[in-house]
Structure formats: structure tokens, C-alpha cells
Structure 1
Amino acid sequence: MSRLDPRLEPTGAVRRFEVIDGAAGRRRWSADDRARILEETLVPGAVVSVVARRHGLTPQQVFTWRREARQASAALPTFVPAVIAPEPVVAEPVRTKPAHRRAKRSPSRRRAAGIEVEAGGVTVRIGDGASPATIAAVIGALKGSP
């Protein structure tokens, strides 16, 4: 006869269990491992629970990693391609005035350099001589728009 309390004896089949002790109990996943696991969950038709269990994780842990990854990517600045194009040259009409009467081109008729931003089908032009505060305000307004 066993000297153990009979209530502690298993009544049915014994199931597998793990004993987690000390520092070895908590696994540390490298950023590369996390990224690889998260990529598996983003494949069309992938089930997060299946991927998580395959790697010995709970689905909640994988969903937490996904949320953290989204938050981290939202905090990163977004860049758009900048295209530098030469200013279009407008052909002046041919004048038949004598050479001594030709008017010099006034500085106001020259095209000023500036910044042109195209986002979401909207083009914004910021003229030459705009202050850095104005440029920052325009870009900030573009970031805030949906």
C-alpha cells in the first residue's frame, strides 16, 4: 500500500507536463526568430494558432508580437520617392520688333524654384523663399490627413 494520500494519485491516464524551473524556464526569442514566426502568420491562409503551437508558443504571445510590430512600424518615418525634374521651358513667341526695342525679361517673369509634393493624388507646391516653419507646417498637415 502506498503511503501517499490517495487523493493525489491520478485517477485517469497521466498527461504530459513540463516543469519550468529558474532562468531556463523563460525562453528568449531573438528578433530574427520573431520576425520569421511573424512572417509565417502573414502567409495567406495561415492560422496563427497552428503557427504558434508549431513553435511552442501560445496564440496570445504571437498576437502580442504582431501588435508590437505594427506599433513599431507606425512609429517609423515614412519616405516617399523624390523626383527631381527640370523645369519645363516655355517657348517664347517670336517677336518681330527690332533688336534695339526688345524688352529685357523682368525677374518677376522668371520661374522660381520650389518644392512640389504629390500625395494621394493631390499636388502641393511650396514656392521659393518659403520659411522652414512653413515647409514643416505643410508637411505636417499632409501627414495628418488620412
Structure 2
Amino acid sequence: MNDARNFHVIEAVPDRLGVSPARSHRRWSQEAKARLIEASLVAGANVSAIAREAGMAPSQLFGWRRKALKGDTASRRANEGRLGFVEIATTAAQVEIEVGGMIIRAGADIGQDQLVKIIRAVKTA
């Protein structure tokens, strides 16, 4: 064996791989989640396109939707106070809705979009 002792120093510097994301986890507010879920539940909506536009994986938005549709308590809290509609058959010529202590009277033939605008106006007043 040779008496000359040679040492090789190896330096290792941790570095991110080029394929790993810059951030490991993104934090979404309950309002942002609720907005994305609502947009994905619209008839004819492309859930994957909505997710990609928001900069997230479609599977994540599908998971949020699944929890919201199952009635997850966190989703219920996020959606409290949101407007929702149930289709009903009415025989009355007029509909009465109480919002924030005020009564809105509208004809039974009013359109959903117009009714939403009226309710939002009353809530902000």
C-alpha cells in the first residue's frame, strides 16, 4: 500500500430538480375554492379547462367538487349565504322572498338572472 494519503473532498450542494414545482403547496382561500366549484358546477362547464385556467391540476378541482357535492361541512360553511335555486312548480302569480328582513315580491314568470340581480341589490342596500 502506498503511504501517500490522498483525500478527495466532495461537496454536495442541494438543488431543486428541474421537474419539481417551485412551491410544494398552494393555499386556497375558502372563497376562491367556492368560486371555482361554482364555476365548475354550471351546466356545460369544462372542469379541466377551469382548473388549468386557475393554475391547478384538474384532479384537485374534481376532488373539491366531490367533497362539496357530498355535503362536506367545510364546503357548507364556505357556501353559507350564497344564492341557490331549486326548481319549483308554482301556481301563484306572485312570489315572495324574504332577504335580510325585506320582502321581495316578483311575478312568478321572472327570470332567474333578473331575480339574482334584485336579491343582490337588496342584500347590498
Which one has the largest radius of gyration? 1
Could you say which TM-score interval applies, normalised by the shorter chain? 0.3 to 0.5
TM-score (norm 2): 0.39
Q: What TM-score does the superposition give when structure 1 sets the normalisation length?
A: 0.34
